[in-house]
Chain A
Amino acid sequence: MPGRGGGYPGTVILGIDTSLGTAVAAIARDGEVLADEQSGNPLGHAEVIGDLLLRATAGAPAPTHVAIGMGPGPFTGLRVGIATARVYALGRGVPVVPVPSHDGIALGVLLSDALTGGETGRFAVVTDARRKEFAYSIYEGIDDDGLPVRSSDAQLSPRDDLDARLDAAGARRYDATTVSAAMIALAAARALDAGRTLADAEPLYLRSPDVVAAHAPKRVS
């Protein structure tokens, strides 16, 4: 019986993220990328997700887990990926593994710096949150499980305030415009190996629905 850390041979993790654009990938537990599909269109999540999913799963062995990027990201698009991933997992009878989308981005940054021998230091993953705000999470290196160390969970900042906040935190700014679904899947694989949970089951909205309770009707005469 293979140990938990050795990359169980039958394990295939499907990653889905629609927090920025639309991305679907499949990896083996050891990190080998079996499929990596994404759409260049930052919108149109609902239109493209089915074909990307079909292509990502057609060539690879059947997924044993579905890793879902839980945001933060623009809500409407974000939900498409989560809905697709959850119901796909339901259809296949396999578990879902929620991953903060910023963790996937951070893991990509850390692995790429490790390859080039760069020193990453403390950095902030920054993504657009609409309404003149950014979402950001702060990371500092990689831990023994191979996962990014998140020193500050995702939060919102007015665009104009972000640089001052990051200066105060001593974090370099890393602006991301795409998320790699393979990195979401890899973060999930490492979390599974370590027996850790990276995110709650619910989306990282960071904002309440933008509504106000009903007020008195306005006068018409």
Chain B
Amino acid sequence: MNAPLVLGIETSCDETGIGIVRGRQLLSNTIASSMDEHARYGGVVPEVAARAHLEALQPSIDAALAEAGVTLADLDAVAVTSGPGLAGALMVGVGAAKGLAVALDKPLYAVNHLVGHIAADILDADAGELEYPTVALLVSGGHTSLLLVRDLTSDVELLGETMDDAAGEAFDKVARLLKLPYPGGPEIDRAAAEGDPTAIRFPRGLSRASDMASHRYDFSFSGLKTAVARWVEQHEAAGKPVPVADVAASFREAVVDVLVTKALDACARHGVPRLLLGGGVIANKRLREVALERAAAAGVAVRIPPLRLCTDNGAMIAALAAELISSGRRPSTLAFGADSTLPVTEIQVAEDPDAETPAPRAGATP
């Protein structure tokens, strides 16, 4: 069977992502971000994001087709993120995908955003084949999840996730405390460059022995954020200047430490010497450094997709659908919606028992 040509639509947060893949080959990864519009609010505003998605859809689809050098008629299938994410934002993509699938009379695959982040890895032509099982740590402004992936298309288990803020959100909130601009990740990184990561010992959430029974792989960053706020307030109350660099470095170290410790603990306890990193926060250099260093010491191989495939994008959604097609999965019905809390075990939504697996047209060039 020829590799299926799939267009993926991703609108779960503030990036309108349109991706086109042919099987595992990336043809276009077009992203329109509304991040600048959220900057003055200090965080993603769902209504602002949803409006931006509606505006960006058509131009992004046109740009993606042009870059990939294909036409809509060439497509074998359409894919879309059904969840998790911001409901109103997701719905824009779901509507668009249904419109496109009906217009083209092509099968539609509704897929899971988090599993899409894992699928991003298979588009990295320079990396070897993704081996199973692997632990995956997905960190962004919208999610912080630790997964055990036995098979991309059929078996993904949630080991743990954040109980409150996502790691990226914690960066944004602490950046605000330190009067740094949005988005917080790169700003904290910059401020931390000259700081001492051991200057202040901030708490590591859900890392006590007593947390191990029920929250071994879960995360919590709101206590950390409060601890930073309290530390800064006390310092200011005492009339002392806040050592922004040290606070930023110490805060970042606490986040990175918890993320890497729990991910490697999962690798060890499941006997899995492989760790896949994904999500926009992977852009954080210190996180990558610490992960690579400590994983090497633990004998764990780390995979990090190229950054443009780590942030939210449509190519990863198309890639996941292409894998589903290749593994013989039937398309989704047209009757699914946006599911803001879609569990990671639901890799595909609303598979249609009556549909046939799409076979790319004969004569389609591989």
Contacts and interface: CB of A to CB of B under 8 A. Distances in A.
Q: Note whether A and B form a binding pair.
A: yes
Interface of A: 44-51, 53-54, 57, 75-76, 79-92, 202-203, 205, 209-214, 217, 219-221
A91 B229 contact: no
Interface string B188-230: 0000000000000000000000000000000000000010011
B57 A83 contact: yes
B335 A51 contact: yes
B51 interface: yes
Nearest to A48: B335
Nearest to B237: A221
B272 interface: no
Contact of A53 (B102, B233, B338): B102
Interface centre among B55, B62, B91, B338 (most CB of A within 10 A): B91
Contacts of A209: 45, 47-48, 51
A220 B226 contact: yes
Interface in B226-283: 226, 229-230, 233-234
Contact of A90 (B94, B103, B177, B229): B103
B109 to A, nearest CB: 13
B40 A214 contact: yes
Question: By DSSP majority rule, is chain B's interface helix, strand, loop, or mixed?
Answer: helix
Contacts of B40: 213-214
A46 B103 contact: no
A219 B50 CA distance: 31
Contacts of A203: 54
18 contacts: A48-B335, A75-B88, A76-B50, A79-B54, A79-B95, A83-B54, A83-B91, A83-B99, A90-B99, A209-B48, A211-B41, A211-B45, A211-B48, A212-B41, A213-B41, A214-B176, A217-B173, A219-B229
Contacts of B99: 49, 53, 83-91
A202 B54 CA distance: 9
B103 A79 contact: no
